[in-house]
Chain A
Amino acid sequence: MAYIKVDNTKVNKEVAQKLIKICPFNAFEYDDEMLSINANCRICKMCVRKGPEGVCTLIEEERKKIDKTQYKGILVYIEQLNGKAHPVSFELIGKAKELAQVSKDPVFALVIGNQVEHLANEALTYGVDKVYLYDSPLYEHFNVERYTNVVEACFNKHKFSTILLGSTPQGRSFGPRMAARLRTGLTADCTKLEMDTNGDLLQIRPAFGGNIMAKIRTTNHRPQMATVRYKIFKKPEAVKPFGQLIKEDVKGINDHTFIEILEVLNKPKSKDISESEILICVGRAFKKQADLQLIEPLRKRLNADVACTRPLIENGWFDARYQVGLSGRTVKPKLIINIGISGAVHYIEGMKDAEMIITINNDPNNKLFNISHYSILGDLYEVLPRLNDLLEGENHV
């Protein structure tokens, strides 16, 4: 076993207090002049590295090393629902191809479903070397037990070095099931992936509520597994397919299941702006209600929801549930575009956690500019028509 050993001959009250302060997991206990470590210890080695020299040491028994050369290739799981692939899968192919250049690995895709050969072909257009297709009426709907059996069979046959999947609701349920079956590690919600020339995947993810980033390595297990959220990576450009489609035999894969899906209920599109991913938010620089038509081409193109500030509610232009701010809704969309909003504190507090903030305003002192990723100092009545021309022009191409 691995553990941190404390040399108590070097411990006094001062040393103990120092170590207690260093430990992020509150694992030290100091009683009767004895410093000990409790089960809180995560072996982060902070005390070894940053503590008084020689007090804490990591004791680790040598593990049997696996032969990493036996494992080859980066596999991307193509998530699908009703025969339509989740776009995160293609983003992962793009990333996998970048990583593969470093480690000289091939890139593979895995498609599971019923009558989903078109998805295998779609994966090939993003430049994968091989697609493994498991096509059967048994796989019509995602079933975590059956699908895990497929991944196990596929891995045992092809011995991938790395498996990537989307951190979608399906991926967050499926990934851990795969990892436990293959007895390997899985790093959730990576925001960055890097590859070492030796084929080790560096998995970088936020820890402790996002204030700290952790760099994680799967040192002695294969496959290395990671999930990544949608839109973290870019969708790659399509290429002329050169890879190979391999139709795998599903006979012999255990299809027993304890799970029966009785009904699938599609959700009506949510009207709650706090759930919106893309928001256009309008303020009182719009002189009359009819002028809101100016945002219509952009709204359509972004498939955005529209929200507003308080004055527009008072004008009766919007229902109160579309108000952003402390007296309205708090929103955290992936993108918010503020148009003609004065930027009162109450408004900013309700939207400052948006992932990307764009502001169009003609007041150079507008406080929104301080928190915006992109600032456009201009009159909405001049900028929006030009933008609409561009959006319009693109539709004609």
Chain B
Amino acid sequence: MNIMVCIKQVPASSEVKIDPVTGNLIRDGKNVKLNPFDLFALEAAFQINEQIGGSIHALTMGPDSAIRVLKEAIYMGADKGTVISDRKFAGADVLATAYTISQMIDHIGNFDLVICGKQTTDGDTAQVGPEIAENLTIPHVPYVKEILEVYEDYVVVRSGYDTHDEIVKVTLPALLTIEKDANTPRLPSYKRKKAFKDSDINIIRFNDLKDQTLEHYGLLGSPTQVEEMFSPDTKLDSKAIKGDAKTMAKGLFDVLKESQFI
């Protein structure tokens, strides 16, 4: 089947600090990597098509340099890679990002399944996948732990919640988000790396998209605006509960009660 896998280039380290003097964010932005959650999404796609055949297309949104993570996906086993990149997308929040990606998917067309990782390590919202599905007016199944059955027009998957798992049959086209550790992702193969080193990555720009309304993209298309960034108060708030054994026991009892543990 035709599978599109949405992946993202993320900072290699999430360590960010605020310079206490200048108030600037200090971030190592130079080192980037493929979002680790996306490895499970890619592997799920490979396993599906090993059963049923078809083509796997890795997609990403970001700067042109995000081509690197698409190449990594190709070395792992994807057939094609496309990046959507344009300054007009700058400042996009979840809504605008998901909208841009769904326009991209619409532009490429002809898919049976869209697969996303559960979340990214930088945004950490787990929201973009379901929003893409809504924009494409297709169903989505989150937290997929196992792909149980694959057919031309539907799949059966196991979806994991806190207290229970659901066995879900979903009609295609659909979107799945894959749970961490749902499978064992393969490594990029040296053979594929040699064979596909010079493979072309498609680049899509704003002008290629069907919806040319600027207000739907980037900062303008983003309902949420970051007003301020600040350091959390990390000082340990430590209290000693003092007194005789009875007083200390009472102090502990009150703390547990106050914190809603009992």
CB contacts under 8 Å to B, within A113-146, are 144-145
Q: How far apart are A216's CB and chain B's nearest CB, in angstroms?
A: 5
**Which chain B residue shows the least CB distance to A91?**
B260
Q: For A175, what are the chain B residues with a Cβ–Cβ distance below 8 Å?
A: 127
**Which chain B residue shows the least CB distance to A334?**
B261
Q: For B67, what are the chain A residues with a Cβ–Cβ distance below 8 Å?
A: none
CB contacts under 8 Å to B, within A197-245, are 202-203, 206-221, 231, 234-235
Main secondary structure of the interface of B (DSSP, over half): mixed
Given contacts A2-B218, A267-B164, A382-B245, contact A262 B156 (CB under 8 A): yes
Is B2 an interface residue when CB atoms closer than 8 A count as contact? no
In contact, A389 and B17 (Cβ under 8 angstroms): no
In contact, B171 and A258 (Cβ under 8 angstroms): yes
Q: How far apart are A209's CB and chain B's nearest CB, in angstroms?
A: 3
| CA A24 to CA B29, docked complex, whole Å | 7
| CA A385 to CA B246, docked complex, whole Å | 9
Q: Which 6 pairs show the lowest CB-CB distances between chains A and B?
A: A209-B14, A26-B29, A185-B223, A43-B91, A386-B249, A185-B224
* 27 A–B contacts from the bound complex (CB under 8 Å): A1-B218, A25-B27, A44-B226, A60-B219, A63-B215, A169-B161, A173-B130, A176-B94, A176-B125, A176-B127, A179-B94, A180-B130, A183-B95, A185-B223, A186-B224, A208-B25, A209-B124, A257-B139, A258-B171, A265-B166, A267-B163, A360-B252, A373-B238, A376-B240, A378-B248, A387-B253, A389-B249
In contact, B218 and A211 (Cβ under 8 angstroms): no
Is A383 an interface residue when CB atoms closer than 8 A count as contact? yes
Given contacts A176-B134, A216-B225, A261-B168, contact A378 B245 (CB under 8 A): yes
In contact, A180 and B98 (Cβ under 8 angstroms): yes
Main secondary structure of the interface of A (DSSP, over half): mixed
Is B227 an interface residue when CB atoms closer than 8 A count as contact? yes
Q: For B64, what are the chain A residues with a Cβ–Cβ distance below 8 Å?
A: 38-39
Among B24, B125, B242, contact of A22 (Cβ-Cβ < 8 Å): B24
Is A253 an interface residue when CB atoms closer than 8 A count as contact? no
Among B27, B131, B215, B242, contact of A177 (Cβ-Cβ < 8 Å): B131
Among B130, B163, B168, B171, contact of A262 (Cβ-Cβ < 8 Å): B168
Q: For A2, what are the chain B residues with a Cβ–Cβ distance below 8 Å?
A: 90-91, 218-220
Q: How far apart are A274's CB and chain B's nearest CB, in angstroms?
A: 13
B100-124 interface mask toward A, CB cutoff 8 Å, 1 = contact, 0 = none? 0000000000000000000001101
B177-208 interface mask toward A, CB cutoff 8 Å, 1 = contact, 0 = none? 00000000000000000000000000000000
Count contacts on B: residues with CB < 8 A to the other chain: 101
In contact, B256 and A302 (Cβ under 8 angstroms): yes
In the complex, the number of residue pairs spanning A and B with C-beta atoms less than 8 Å apart equals 302
| CA A213 to CA B185, docked complex, whole Å | 33
In contact, A374 and B260 (Cβ under 8 angstroms): no
Q: For B86, what are the chain A residues with a Cβ–Cβ distance below 8 Å?
A: 39
In contact, A24 and B16 (Cβ under 8 angstroms): yes
B230-262 interface mask toward A, CB cutoff 8 Å, 1 = contact, 0 = none? 111000111111100110111111011001111
| CA A165 to CA B31, docked complex, whole Å | 35
| CA A27 to CA B11, docked complex, whole Å | 13
Please report A residues at the B interface, Cβ cutoff 8 Å.
1-4, 21-27, 37-44, 46, 50, 60-61, 63, 81, 144-145, 148, 168-170, 172-173, 175-177, 179-181, 183-189, 202-203, 206-221, 231, 234-235, 257-267, 278, 301-302, 335, 356, 358, 360, 369, 371-379, 382-387, 389-391
Given known contacts A185-B93, A213-B231, A266-B164, what 11 new A-B pairs fall within 8 Å (CB)? Answer: A81-B163, A144-B140, A176-B128, A186-B224, A188-B126, A213-B229, A217-B224, A258-B138, A260-B169, A369-B240, A375-B240
Q: How far apart are B13's CB and chain A's nearest CB, in angstroms?
A: 8
Q: For A210, what are the chain B residues with a Cβ–Cβ distance below 8 Å?
A: 232
Q: For A25, what are the chain B residues with a Cβ–Cβ distance below 8 Å?
A: 27, 29
In contact, A24 and B224 (Cβ under 8 angstroms): no
Q: For B249, what are the chain A residues with a Cβ–Cβ distance below 8 Å?
A: 383-384, 386-387, 389-390
Q: How far apart are B130's CB and chain A's nearest CB, in angstroms?
A: 4
Given contacts A148-B134, A203-B224, contact A1 B238 (CB under 8 A): no
In contact, B229 and A207 (Cβ under 8 angstroms): yes
Given contacts A185-B223, A189-B125, A219-B225, contact A180 B15 (CB under 8 A): no
Given contacts A212-B16, A391-B253, contact A172 B139 (CB under 8 A): no
Is B210 an interface residue when CB atoms closer than 8 A count as contact? no
| CA A119 to CA B227, docked complex, whole Å | 37
Q: For B131, what are the chain A residues with a Cβ–Cβ distance below 8 Å?
A: 176-177, 179-180
| CA A314 to CA B84, docked complex, whole Å | 57
In contact, A212 and B93 (Cβ under 8 angstroms): no
Q: For B162, what are the chain A residues with a Cβ–Cβ distance below 8 Å?
A: 168-169
Given contacts A37-B87, A265-B165, A389-B249, contact A278 B261 (CB under 8 A): yes
| CA A218 to CA B224, docked complex, whole Å | 4
Given contacts A261-B166, A372-B238, contact A212 B225 (CB under 8 A): no
Is B23 an interface residue when CB atoms closer than 8 A count as contact? yes
| CA A265 to CA B145, docked complex, whole Å | 13
